[in-house]
């Protein structure tokens, strides 16, 4: 078994390291070891043959695998090599390709976002923004960077007082609240999360924004028949839940509610190439989640006369955001364990660290695409942000 494990790990980890098992310590790779992996219990050959990420991820969650170096630092050394990971798509078909109907997708979204507002409050900033921040300087706090992101996004939409704004996948509502207060726009946010809906509804009332903002539990597929119409539409961190095969349907529904010459800003985690996604992430973190490539979204835009005005990558901003989230998370680790248990805490630490590493290695990216519905010659000719 040791010989198999050594050979298996050497294929996926391109740096030298020590492997400690009950049979002793063996060195894998040439050069000075970067870290030591202690395997209290090795994953089975069968599990490793089905999925690298599931077998190793579950072993880490259980405490079967320990490291003598920070988890993010270790993952950052080899997650750029994920193309060498094993995934048996036939065995994992039901996990990788989940149904994209409304009922199942609501269940999948709720499984992540409805863990509880008290949980997310432990490690998000006071804006309760659960998406990539925007750091103008190294000194920016997470809250300042989240305000920067919202303002950076709203500036691109060129809002004016009295305009209407739809936020598809509005989260806890920080962007819409900021837009209403700063620009005087009227907004509607839609979400599938009951926890997010409850908090956003409470905030609207407490902050006296009832005449300007509304939040609904609503599927994006309901937009086309809603009769709603907006000057601007924004969607941040929601496209990843739509699922490959539904991107055209998503854009069709945006088109249905966006006025001619209106602007749509799509902010989403993207990939260089198309793939079904990681098995461990799908099982434990984002059931049904799929990361679209940039090119497959761009290719659909002409179907709805969406003119691409601007594309910006915020990849490194998301790496920094995740590292801060992870720091906050681990500073409140005892409370997380009290709420959810040690295995859950190890799982979420692995999720935050691995996502930070994959952004840093370019396995995933973050793009903002600004587009207009039809030609809009009334916009400034130069980029303003």
* Active site residues per annotation: 355
Sign of torsion over alpha carbons 102, 106, 109, 113: positive
How crowded is residue 330: how many other Cβ atoms within 10 Å of its Cβ? 17
Structure tokens at 94: 């039901």
Give the Cα separation of 339 and 344 in Å (integer). Answer: 9
The CA–CA distances, whole Å, from 268 to 166, 369, 375 equal 16, 9, 24
- Angle of helix 142-157 relative to helix 174-183, nearest 10 degrees? 60
CA angle 165, 251, 192 (to 5 degrees): 65
The three-class DSSP label of residue 133 is: coil
Query: DSSP secondary structure string, 110-132?
Result: HHHHTS-HHHHHTTS-TT---S-
Give the Cα separation of 121 and 310 in Å (integer). Answer: 33
């Amino acid at each position: 078994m040791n010989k198999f494990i050594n050979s298996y790990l050497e294929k996926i980890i391109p740096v030298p390291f020590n492997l400690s098992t009950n049979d002793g310590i063996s060195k894998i790779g040439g050069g000075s070891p970067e870290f030591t992996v202690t395997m209290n219990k090795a994953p089975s050959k069968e599990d490793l043959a089905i999925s690298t990420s599931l077998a190793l991820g579950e072993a880490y969650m259980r405490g079967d695998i320990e490291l003598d170096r920070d988890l993010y630092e270790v993952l950052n050394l080899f997650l750029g090599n994920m193309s060498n990971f094993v995934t048996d798509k036939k065995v994992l078909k039901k996990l990788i390709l989940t149904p994209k109907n409304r009922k199942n997708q609501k269940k999948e979204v709720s499984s992540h976002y409805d863990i509880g507002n008290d949980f997310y409050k432990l490690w998000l900033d006071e804006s309760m923004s659960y998406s990539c921040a925007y750091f103008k300087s190294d000194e920016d706090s997470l809250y300042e960077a989240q305000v920067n992101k919202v303002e950076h996004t709203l500036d691109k939409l060129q809002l004016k007082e009295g305009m209407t704004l739809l936020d598809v996948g509005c989260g806890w509502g920080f962007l819409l609240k900021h837009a209403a207060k700063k620009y005087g726009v009227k907004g509607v946010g839609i979400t599938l999360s009951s926890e997010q809906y409850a908090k956003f509804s409470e905030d609207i009332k407490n902050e006296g924004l009832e005449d300007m903002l509304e939040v609904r539990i609503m599927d994006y597929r309901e937009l086309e028949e809603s009769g709603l119409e907006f000057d601007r539409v924004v969607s941040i961190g929601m496209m990843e839940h739509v699922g490959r095969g539904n991107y055209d349907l998503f854009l069709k529904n945006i088109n249905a509610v966006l006025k001619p010459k209106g602007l749509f800003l799509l902010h989403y985690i993207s990939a260089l190439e198309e793939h079904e996604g990681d098995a461990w992430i799908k099982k434990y973190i984002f059931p049904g989640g799929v990361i679209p490539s940039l090119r497959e979204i761009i290719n659909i835009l002409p179907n709805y006369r969406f003119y691409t005005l601007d594309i910006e990558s915020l990849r490194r901003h998301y790496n920094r955001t995740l590292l801060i989230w992870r720091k906050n998370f681990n500073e409140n680790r005892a409370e997380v364990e009290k709420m959810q248990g040690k295995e859950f805490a190890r799982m979420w630490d692995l999720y935050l660290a691995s996502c930070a590493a994959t952004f840093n290695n370019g396995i995933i990216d973050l793009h903002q695409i600004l587009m207009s519905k039809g030609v809009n010659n009334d916009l400034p000719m130069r980029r303003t942000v």
